[in-house]
Amino acid sequence: MKLVVQRNDLLVPLQKVIGAIEKRQTMPMLSNVLIKSSGDQLTMTATDLEITLKSTRELSEIQEEGYAVVPARKLFDICKALPENSVLKIKTSEERVTITSGSSRFTLASLPPGDFPVQEEGHAGAKVTLDAQLVTDLLDKTSFAMANQDVRYYLNGLMLEILPEGIRAVATDGHRLAYCFENLDVESDVQNLQVIVPRKGILELKRLIQEEEHELTLVFGNKHIKVISKNGEFISKLIDGRFPDYKRVMPDEPQNHLYISRSVLRDALQRAAILSNEKYRGIRLALSENELLLEAHNAEQEEAEEIIEVEYNDSALQIGFNVQYLLDVTQVLKGSTVRISMQDSSSSALMDDPDDTSARYVVMPMRL
């Protein structure tokens, strides 16, 4: 392989795949990136055997096609350290890759490209084409509620459900639940397909497509999901498990409804959270007619109070929540008003935007 490349044409695809490279690897090959130059394209691939990221960039000067496997983070650090407008000359020979830029010269060890692991995708099943912005919004509205290293392994990811009438995303850590449904026209042969994509895969997919402006193709296999974009590919293993029945978690027609400015609630929660217990993060909501009292205290006997004017005409109610869970919802909702619906002080709360109920959030109460 022999090519001449602008620094950013090498750095940008490398940034997109570097998330698959773990700092500590049991297999030396997994700390490397596979570089392929073919035609007028440069393709980079990285994998940790759970997810595979592939990014493609068009180049104008590929002098000799070929492959190279080089240490990913060393290459990344070299690219970052060079001046922005640098031109790099890359050449492979035997077990070395030489990078020259101006008066700088680097020689990196290279592993055999034939030994680079290829993730088996299995039989490709349903295929759905979606707008990239829709997928980004769907993940942004739900992924924050995924569990992290929970013993219930099926919670350590996000459930995607493809239906003839639309796509649904659900995430829960057992204490809160995020739900979003988008209506759309998808292929008529897609019937009630449900998969669980692991947490790392979702986070890397969000990063990979955040600047995409085109359509994405989602291909569902028996054990993998592939997402194909204009400039790359994402492959992830699926979690083999049964996702909880989210419909049972949704409160049935709560009687008490609170309407409040999203920005006012967010700011008040942030202030009250300063003096909440650092471990449990508890905050009490005391509701009376058109008034909300927020109370927080900690082990040092410090206290915070916030009184907010709201729209509330139901019975008086006191209920406790993890303040971070409430804050997370106010961050992802986009409307000016938040509706909080509750049955009583021991039941979960349902939060949404009254003008857009495509996304709904359930937060379990806590004892204070």
Residue ranges of domains in the chain = 2-115, 124-247, 251-363
Does 46 have pLDDT greater than 60? yes
Global model pTM greater than 0.85: yes
- Give the pLDDT band of residue 326 (cuts 50, 70, 90): very high
Cβ atoms within 10 Å, residue 111: 17
Rounded CA separation 231/23 (Å): 25
Give residue 188's pLDDT.
47
What's the rounded Cα separation, in Å, for the pair 58 and 37?
10
SS (H, E, C) the chain: CEEEEEHHHHHHHHHHHHHHCCCCCCCHHHHEEEEEEECCEEEEEEECCCEEEEEEEECCCEEECEEEEEEHHHHHHHHHHCCCCCEEEEEEECCEEEEEECCEEEEEECECHHHCCCCCCCCEEEEEEEEHHHHHHHHHHHHHHCCCCCCCHHHCEEEEEEECCEEEEEEECCCEEEEEEEECCCCCCCCCEEEEEEHHHHHHHHHHHCCCCCEEEEEEECCEEEEEECCEEEEEECCCCCCCCHHHHCCCCCCEEEEEEHHHHHHHHHHHHCCCCCCCCEEEEEEECCEEEEEEECCCCCEEEEEEECECCCCCEEEEEEHHHHHHHHHHCCCCEEEEEECCCCCCEEEEECCEEEEEEEECCCCC
CATH 3.10.150.10 corresponds to the domain 124-247: yes
- Read off the pLDDT of each residue in 341-353 and give the average, rounded to a whole number: 95
Please, what's the largest Cα pairwise distance for the chain?
78
Taking CB atoms within 8 Å and a gap of at least 24, the contacts of 272-279 are 272/296, 272/304, 272/305, 272/306, 272/323, 273/323, 273/324, 273/327, 274/304, 275/302, 275/303, 275/304, 276/304, 276/323
What is the mean pLDDT of the segment spanning 237-257?
A: 91
Question: Who wins on pLDDT, 336 or 25?
Answer: 336
Tell me the pLDDT band of 61, cut-offs 50, 70 and 90.
confident
How does residue 266 score in pLDDT terms, banded at 50, 70 and 90? very high
Is residue 163 very low, low, confident or very high in pLDDT (cuts 50, 70, 90)?
confident
pLDDT in the model for residue 124: 66
- Looking at CATH, the fold of the domain delimited by 251-363 is given as DNA Polymerase III; Chain A, domain 2 (3.10.150)
**pLDDT at position 189 over 60:** no
* Mean pLDDT value across the chain: 92
Res. 23: pLDDT tops 90? no
Tell me what pLDDT residue 51 has.
Answer: 95
| pLDDT interval class at 319 (50, 70, 90) | very high
Tens digits of residue pLDDT in 192-236: 889 999 999 999 999 888 877 789 999 988 899 999 998 889 999
> What CA–CA distance (Å, rounded) separates 55 from 359?
31
pLDDT of residue 231: 85
Res 187: pLDDT: 56
Question: Can you give the C-alpha Rg of the chain in angstroms?
Answer: 25
Tens of pLDDT, residue by residue over 27-42, are 899 999 999 998 889 9
Close Cβ partners of 330 (under 8 Å, ≥ 6 residues apart): 262, 265, 266, 269, 338
Q: Could you read off the pLDDT of 101-115 as tens digits, one per residue?
A: 999 999 999 999 999
Whether residue 139 contacts residue 71, with contact meaning beta carbons closer than 8 Å, is answered with no
- List pLDDT tens digits, range 116-138: 998 776 666 788 888 999 999 99
The pLDDT > 90 percentage for the chain reads: 78
Starting at the edge strand found earlier in the chain, the sheet holding 224-229 runs 66-71, 32-38, 41-47, 51-58, 232-237, 224-229, 215-221, 124-131
- Assign domain 2-115 one CATH number from 3.10.150.10, 3.60.10.10, 3.40.50.300, 3.90.550.10: 3.10.150.10
Q: Which of 368, 181, 191, 152 is nearest to 281 (CA)?
A: 368
pLDDT the model gives residue 186: 61
Asked if 55 and 13 touch (Cβ cutoff 8 Å), the reply is: yes
Sign of CA dihedral 344, 349, 350, 353: positive
Instruction: Tell me what the mean pLDDT of segment 278-300 comes to.
Output: 95
Smallest Cα–Cα separation from 194: which of 227, 228, 242?
Answer: 242
Give the pLDDT mean for 60-65: 85
Q: Do domains 2-115 and 251-363 have the same CATH topology?
A: yes
Q: What percent of the chain is predicted at pLDDT more than 70? A: 97
Q: What is the mean pLDDT of residues 154-180?
A: 95
pLDDT at 252: 83
In the predicted structure, residue 81 carries a pLDDT above the cut 70: yes
